[in-house]
Amino acid sequence: MSAITTDDQHVADTRDSMEKAPDYHDPEKGLAPADIEALEAAALPEFDDPNLDKDAAIAVRTPEVRSAVANTDDPTIPCNTLRAWVLGLIWAIIIPGLNQFFFFRYPAVTVTSIVAQLLTFPLGRAWARLLPNVSILGVQLNPGPFTIKEHVIITIMAGVGAGSAYATDIVAVQRVYYDQTFNFGYQWMIVMSTQLIGFSIGGIARRFLVQPPEHDLAVQPRHLRAVQYPACAAVCGGRVQGACWYLVPGYLFTGLSFFSWVCWIKPNNVVVNQLFGVNYGLAMGMVTFDWAQITYIGSPLATPWWAEANIAVGFVFFFWILTPALYVRTAPPLSLSLSFPAFSLLPSPPLFSTPGAYAQPRMASYLLRSVGVSSRFTNTFYSKYMPISSGGSFDNTGASYNVSRILTPDKVFDEQKYKEYSPIFLSTTFSISYGLSFASITATITHAFLFFRKQIWTQSRRAMHEQPDIHARLMAVYPQVPEWWYAIIFITMFVFGIVAIEVWDTKFPVQFFILALVISFVYVIPIGMIQAITNQQVGLNVITELIIGYALPGRPVAMMMFKTWGYITMAQALTFTSDFKLGHYMKIPPRHMFTCQVVATVVAGTVQLGVQAWMFTNIEGMCDRDQKDGFWCPSTGVFGTASIIWGVIGPARQFSHGQIYYALTFFFLIGFLCPLIAWLCTLKWPNSWLRYLKCLPRHLLGHGPHPPPPTRTTTSPGRSSGSSSSMLSGGATLRGGQSTTVRLLPSFPSLPFPSLTISYTPTHADLASPTDVLSAALDSGVAVSAVLIFFILQYPRNGTIGLNTIQSWWGNTVWLNTADGNKTPLISLADGETFGPSTW
């Protein structure tokens, strides 16, 4: 674990050969006019990229990289030191542990690796100043000044396992939905296998996605905001302020977090609560004072305004127009027609009138009149017997779906019990979210083909033969990771997977485990190229659900495992290559990168399982929707509902012709047509504002997990991810092209929650973003505050502290004592009544 040693003569020879290379750039010298012309021709693409600063592109092919990355290296800089490992492992324990704790809570708080990145600098400097320079078993305790390479290693270790491991949801769903609690050995093996087997595939993909300079965008802008030394004091100050403020919306006045103020005025009006509610409504109030709510889908930093506008249009259409339309009015058959003169045709009833028999027409009329849509709608999907927005599932009485009533004692689907019980029903927003998931699959692939096929084809041919750039030649000094290292990881994790499948009763055949890995392996390179060039990742979760749902219906655990290995293996492979790309630019020895990634992932996954086990053992009512401290496991609920739909009942009984949700399959066609229309528009009017529609098909559908990086002229603070999330924003241009933007953000993972924030976003060249510092400060401050609130005020005495005082006062109960808080549907059934089809 000491600093690397390199043969001095070998290093000198390597430097001499690089300096003699025709395209070597000496940073001390300027560029000749001929060089500028050549760079201009190579840097400016044939297609119009709204993210590209063309002036900066003339200087270098990827301006983000040039502004943040040096084209020199000193191989003698210490990197693999005891200091880096100790600090890296500390962050690999703290950040994943905190994030796993908040993963089951709403609103969740996500601590990102940028917190570790900023706070590591003073810790590393303090280590270098205070600890003695002694050796322990040949390892230097203090190798000298804290180096940038150590800093990068620590940041990567902090971030590689920061998010909750996907397989932990399998463990949680087995416990909550299927009453299966297998021991820690089973849990550890499936988490390690799903997290690490992708690294071995990423090792193969690295030659296609790491070394080619054209794939610079494989590194997100957050990676290039490398080391912001002066920002640490601001982070510490912001943490204190963020922690102090969170005490108000997080404990003293929770109504400021769930700020459904319109519902407080008319708490019993079902229509108003469906529109403005933040529990089971559409959240049209769009205001919150809780940073945890604002950042539930990601910190609002780096999305350009034009991308936000696309998403906002899609959000308003699908969730504020189409969703209420499908929810309310009964009149067969479904018939929708646009009629702009409808402003004069539709009545104009008061929004806050007394609820009654005409509540449904009033709600539809109010929304449709505002956009000029005249229509006759059915009670599509029988949705008005359920809340308009929920991440759960329902039976034909309107109660939560009890999956145990359709399973055998061996946890396999029982068709007879299913026919005696009920089909499964989803809320309108959940149904639309599935439709958008279907559309995003075809939209992303079609979009990538129409707009980026030339670049993808060119890079696929160049990947193995392209002349290495200056960074690749600098990295040639370091030994590469041997192929057998990746083979060992693959074989070990493959064995872990088979043992978990066969020793425990999962009903998952090994051949389908192999098929899931084959799917990931086949898709990782083309999807990685698409992501590197278009900044959009095609998710394989829905595809894998479809495959296993038709192949092995009635086996929920098998479905969850197939989806996880089929999807997260590819995602982990791309994460691995993305971090390797960062290490490539920062000149981190590849073997050290590989080791730190693997070790940090093992540590993080183990910590997350330990935290999860403690929570289920010690927190009362864990994953109940009414859990008093907010630990109602929203992600686990969606994951569990998916296991019922795709695993227990199967897609054939849900989406095939003649079934309740057959209409959603037409979203595949919609996803195909949207990019085609946008492409034809850009061909017809190439220089008009319509060129920004090239991002519309992907973002219009509300599925933009990787928004494009910001530009110099189109700045904004928003970010969106997940199946249905969006932002409405407007900005005022200030000096220097900077922007102060007020963002109204209705965001929801499967149900909507709003936020209001004011932020500043820098330009392309200003990678030391103040918003990054502010976000890191608020994220860490809110996380610390939430942990202290829980363990000091909520967990002790079984949660009875302030039970009759602070917990019961108006500000902490007003948002619950409404029709929205009570989960009231538009039509309530009497005892014994049911809805839906008579046979299924």
Say if 41 falls within a structural domain: yes
Q: What does the pLDDT read at residue 502?
A: 95
Q: How confident is the model at residue 313 (pLDDT cuts 50, 70, 90)?
A: confident
Look at residue 13 in the predicted model and tell me its pLDDT. Answer: 54
Structure confidence at residue 692 (pLDDT) = 63
What is the number of helices (H) and of strands (E) in the chain?
A: 31, 10
State the burial class of residue 331 (Cβ atoms within 10 Å of its Cβ: 0-12, 13-18, 19+): exposed
Cβ-proximal residues to 840 (8 Å cutoff; 6+ apart), any chain? 418, 419, 422, 423, 653
**How does residue 458 score in pLDDT terms, banded at 50, 70 and 90?**
confident
Please give the full DSSP string across 457-497, using - where no structure is assigned: HHHHHHTTTPPP-HHHHHHTTSPPPPHHHHHHHHHHHHHHH
Q: Specify the pLDDT at position 598.
A: 94
pLDDT 10s digits, 101-141? 999 998 888 888 878 887 888 899 999 999 998 888 888 89
Q: How far apart are the C-alpha atoms of 784 and 541, rounded to whole Å?
A: 33
pLDDT above 70 coverage of the chain, percent = 68
Segment 769-809, tens digit of pLDDT: 566 677 777 888 888 888 899 999 998 988 889 989 999 99
Percent of the chain with pLDDT over 90: 36
Q: Give the Cα-Cα-Cα angle 691, 692, 695 (nearest 5 degrees).
A: 120
| Domain count along the chain | 1
Residue 34 domain-assigned (yes or no): yes
Higher pLDDT, 504 or 29: 504
H/E element holding 180?
none
Helix pair 184-209, 168-177: axis angle to 10 deg: 150
CA-based nearest residue to 561, from 204, 186, 201: 186
Predicted local confidence at residue 529, as pLDDT: 72
356: confidence class by pLDDT, cuts 50, 70, 90 = very low
pLDDT digits (tens, 9 = 90+) for 97-108: 999 999 999 888
* Residue 539 tokens, joined: 């998710």
The answer, yes or no, to whether residue 555 has pLDDT greater than 50, is yes
DSSP assignment, residue 249? Answer: I
Tell me, yes or no, whether 36 lies in a domain: yes
Closest CA to 601 of 573, 564, 640, 631: 573
Pick from 448, 497, 462: which is nearest to 195 by CA? Answer: 497
Q: Residue 290: inside a domain, yes or no?
A: no
Report pLDDT digits (tens) over 587-609: 899 999 999 999 999 999 999 99
Does the pLDDT value for residue 414 go beyond 90? Answer: yes
Residue 51 belongs to a domain:
yes
| Residues 296 and 319 sit within 8 Å (Cβ to Cβ) | no
pLDDT reported for residue 63: 57
What is residue 554's predicted lDDT score, i.e. its pLDDT? 93
pLDDT at 541: 85
Please state the rounded mean pLDDT for residues 296-313. Answer: 64
Terminal C-alpha separation, the chain:
64
How much is the average pLDDT of 37-58? 44
How far is Cα 282 from Cα 273, in angstroms, rounded to an integer? Answer: 8
The per-residue pLDDT for 741 is 29
From residue 182, how far is each of 107, 165, 504, 734 by CA, in Å? 29, 17, 8, 58
Residue 585 within any structural domain of the chain: no
Whether 20 is covered by a domain: the verdict is: yes
The reply to whether 76 falls in a domain is no
Per-residue pLDDT, 349 = 37
Which of 217-221, 584-588, 713-717 is most confident?
584-588
Q: Tokens in use for 537?
A: 């990742």
387-401, 626-640, 672-686, 729-743 — which is least confidently predicted?
A: 729-743
Residue 281, pLDDT above cutoff 80: yes
pLDDT value at position 48?
Answer: 41
The pLDDT score that the predictor gives to residue 533 is 64
Per the structure, the complete domain to which residue 48 belongs is given by: 8-68
Instruction: Report residue 487's pLDDT band, with 50, 70 and 90 as the boundaries.
Output: very high
Give the pLDDT confidence score for residue 581 in this predicted structure: 81
Within 10 angstroms of residue 742's Cβ, the number of other Cβ atoms is 14
How long a stretch of residues is the chain?
840
CA distance 156 to 159: 5
Let me know: does 470 contact 25? Beta carbons within 8 Å.
yes
33-42, 345-354, 585-594, 787-796: least confidently modelled range: 345-354
Q: What is the mean pLDDT of residues 179-204?
A: 91
**What is residue 194's predicted lDDT score, i.e. its pLDDT?**
94
Q: Which has more pLDDT, 465 or 732?
A: 465
Mean pLDDT in residue range 313-329: 82
pLDDT at site 771: 66
- Say how far apart CA 529 and CA 523 lie, in whole Å: 10
User: What's the chain's average pLDDT?
Assistant: 75
Q: Is 602 left (phi over 0), alpha (psi -120 to 50) or beta?
A: alpha
